[in-house]
Amino acid sequence: MISVEELLFFALSVFCLIQKIGCVSDTITVTQLIKDGETIISSGGSFEMGFFSPSNSKNRYVGIWYKNIPIQTVVWVANREVPLNNTAGVLQVIKPGHLVLRNDTNNIIWSSNSSWSVQNPVAQLLDSGNLVVKDANDHLGNFLWQSFNYPSDTFLPGMKLGWNFVTGLEVYLSSWKNYEDPAPGEYTYNYDPSGYPQKFVKSGSVIEFRTGPWNGIGFSGVPILRKNPIFSYRVVFNEMELYFTYELLGSVVTRFTLSQSGVGQRWMWDDQARSWKLYLSIPADRCDSYAICGAYGSCDIGNSAICGCLDKFEPKNPEEWAKGDSSNGCTRNVQLDCHSGDGFLKYSGYKLPDTRNSSFSKNISLEECETICLKNCTCTAYSSLDITNGGSGCLLWFGDLIDMKVMPEVGQDIYVRMPSSESGSLHGPDGKKGLILAIGLSLPLGMVLIGSLSLILYIWRRKNKLQKQKNSEMARDINDKKYTSERHKKDLELPLFDLSRIIKATNNFSSDNKLGEGGYGPVYKGVLEEGQEVAVKRLSETSRQGLDEFKNELICIAKLQHRNHVKLLGCCIEGMEKILIYEYMPNKSLDLFIFDPIRSKLLDWPRRFHIIQGIARGILYLHQDSRLRIIHRDLKASNVLLDVDMNPKISDFGTARSFGGNETGANTSRVVGTHGYLSPEYAVDGLFSVKSDVFSFGVVLLEIISGKRNRGFYHHDHHHNLLGHAWMLYKEERALEIVDCHLLGSPFSSLEVLRAIHVGLLCVQKCPDDRPSMSSVVFMLGNEGLLPEAKQPGFFTERYVLNSENSSNTNASSSSKGEITITLVEPR
């Protein structure tokens, strides 16, 4: 007897035959595969997925496109970098939950590589254009993997462009190489979380365009993005995630793309014209070119000479400006003197400057914001964080103001720090005009000139007096801070070098003597009169760090007596100069060796293991054996120096923190360090401890073994970072595959290497309590015995990486470019 189900199936089959169409599903199962020429269609009929060839190319790709639009418009590509060269490709779902693409030899050339497993996996094309892998029985939207997390050049409604701070996943756009090649091209469009977040279009690492910060209504530099009847949009920013998204309000079809020339474009489908219409483009004009007018310059597209200086500023190089080159920007007419009573000048109608070097608070008023900025000599400007409902929150800038644009009707107000002697609508903390200005305007011109000269003389004398007083207080503070006993004070005393001696040693800070530059300032090689070579670290006026870091480094490192710490020989505090003098390290930093394809060959396994053990002992000394417990907070390969015998020496203690008693950690609203080395609890919540340093050490250890950077790591089989790659190999008992290829031609102990990898993975575990102490690390590295099972690492990310496979082996001269230092960022 025929069942009801069989009867329905027969009727459906007959209907399909009569209609001469294929009854296409929206799902791929483990028993159903998709061949070239076959497609799946989303349940609402909006999107279709299958094999295609772009433009005149003969290569085949798996992609998603609009179903009901006659012009094939591809919105996502799976195998962007690995095309098929024939029509024998097969797309299928395999257990435990991967969507894979196989070629004619049955090799997998692309995979979704989800890190979870289920019993009955399926792939489904949703009507949003999102391709998801999930459990067939799951109806709650728990996806193992989704294409919306790995877009190509198209930003669709419902997609989240930004960051998941818990998993470390970044979602960003990358352009096609050309019309025939969908591989990642030159340009990217991403949400940068540094300082106060903003979006960038970049060509490689070079910024081409900046949206400006989110102001509650839109982005400061994109005035066209306002409330409209086509789509709604919003920004979500909290400790868990940061993203921009939008949703359609009607039946209109719209999409945002990043073109092959780096232009962001908003398109809308015109059903009557049967074509796509462009109604938003960024950059929109020449003034949208990043920093085209330099520091303190402003761009006005309405002027024939588009670049000008902000009021009270003048071109830094007038001759270059006369030739049309304004990239060097502007300088103040009168330089700031924090102690002479600064105020602020209001500038209205501007795109707010670059906020990567900024700090912010959502819960204070604009008046409180002004007071905070005025008290900090490094604060150069402030503005409202949110302009809705009359304005709220506080956004503070530190350093030069870059990439401003005149926007008369839709721009924002920004208050720029000015010396009290400047004329104009200058306001101090009480909102009144400066007393000197009021008196000057009421006197005859001759009296004003006399008064001005007297004022300059007074300021000059006061400045010198304050500088001497500050230097004296600094020396006293350094000698007294956290050291109460006379013995400790005596121990902390350092030789003071005369400035003239340093100038002679460095040939007047000659560029030929320059070794490099960090957040503190430039470092020079010097030779003292007696022939001793030294490294001279000079605090820069534009340094991201400052006097606090200078004092902190002196306090932390002055009497660190360990063979794996760089030795501080003395300091110079004279005039405006703040200088530290260290022992010279002829082999410079570790990163110049392990990430360089030539120099890395000089480091065989015994040398690398010697360096690993030395770094471990140096951190152990900081955490346990030094007078005060010290947490470094910025341990990375470039902060490990190598002496003439390749002994490692930990350096750069400017952001270190010291503790007494039984303290082992703290929390902070100022996260400092470098992406790729920060532990999750510190990067996300501002919680740092000795276990934060353990995490950073684990990253450095795995980088030494692999010769690859954690940040920007690329592997053709998956999208994990170095930590994730090492953990996957460890779980599959293939850990030796992480070893630097330059070690494979020389003898090494596989057991020793495997043990070191295992220890590294124990150090980078997500939970701080799971990580071993440094005393345990030193013991495990130097002894045999069973090790505990490693758990999933922190920031175990699965993301699309633009870098080529060789990006981890960049030339040593550019080795620091992959490092992005975080500072002045509130915890998320």
490 Cβ partners below 8 Å, 6+ apart? none
Q: Which of 634, 652, 693, 740 is catalytic?
A: 634
Please say whether the beta carbons of 805 and 597 come within 8 A.
no
Residue type, 792: Q
For 220, 358, 361, 363, 724, the CA distances from 197, given in Å and listed in that order, are 12, 10, 13, 17, 26
For 266, 399, 474, 477, the CA distances from 417, given in Å and listed in that order, are 38, 11, 25, 28
Task: Mark 722-749 as b/e (b = at least 16 C-beta within 10 Å).
Answer: bbbbbbbbbeeeebeebbbebbeeeebe
Residues for the chain: how many in total? 828
Active site residue 337: no
Nearest CA-CA partner of 562 in 489, 622, 494, 634: 622
Please say whether the beta carbons of 288 and 254 come within 8 A.
no
Please say whether the beta carbons of 330 and 315 come within 8 A.
yes
Residue type, 721: N
- 3-class secondary structure, 484: coil
Q: Which two tokens stand for residue 79?
A: 């195998």
410: exposed, middle or buried (Cβ count in 10 Å: 0-12, 13-18, 19+) = middle
Three-state SS string across 355-367, please? CCCEEEECCCCHH
The secondary structure of residue 651, as a DSSP letter, is -
Q: Phi and psi dihedrals of 275, rounded to 5?
A: -155, 165
697 Cβ partners below 8 Å, 6+ apart? 615, 616, 619, 635, 763, 774, 777
Identify the helix (H) or strand (E) that includes residue 132.
strand 131-135
- One-character DSSP codes across 727-746: HHHHHTT-GGGGS-GGGTTS
How far apart are the C-alpha atoms of 243 and 257, rounded to whole Å?
17
- Give me Rg for the CA atoms of the chain: 30
How far apart are the C-alpha atoms of 52 and 702, rounded to whole Å?
40
Please say whether the beta carbons of 584 and 506 come within 8 A.
no
Please say whether the beta carbons of 192 and 207 come within 8 A.
no
How far apart are the C-alpha atoms of 549 and 734, rounded to whole Å?
43
Please say whether the beta carbons of 375 and 396 come within 8 A.
no
For 103, 111, 116, the CA distances from 96, given in Å and listed in that order, are 21, 12, 8
Please say whether the beta carbons of 28 and 34 come within 8 A.
yes
Nearest CA-CA partner of 589 in 568, 552, 615: 615
309 Cβ partners below 8 Å, 6+ apart? 296, 297, 298, 315, 330
508: exposed, middle or buried (Cβ count in 10 Å: 0-12, 13-18, 19+) = exposed
Please say whether the beta carbons of 419 and 337 come within 8 A.
yes
Strands 181-192 and 173-178: antiparallel
Q: Phi and psi dihedrals of 74, rounded to 5?
A: -80, 130
Residues serving a catalytic function are 634
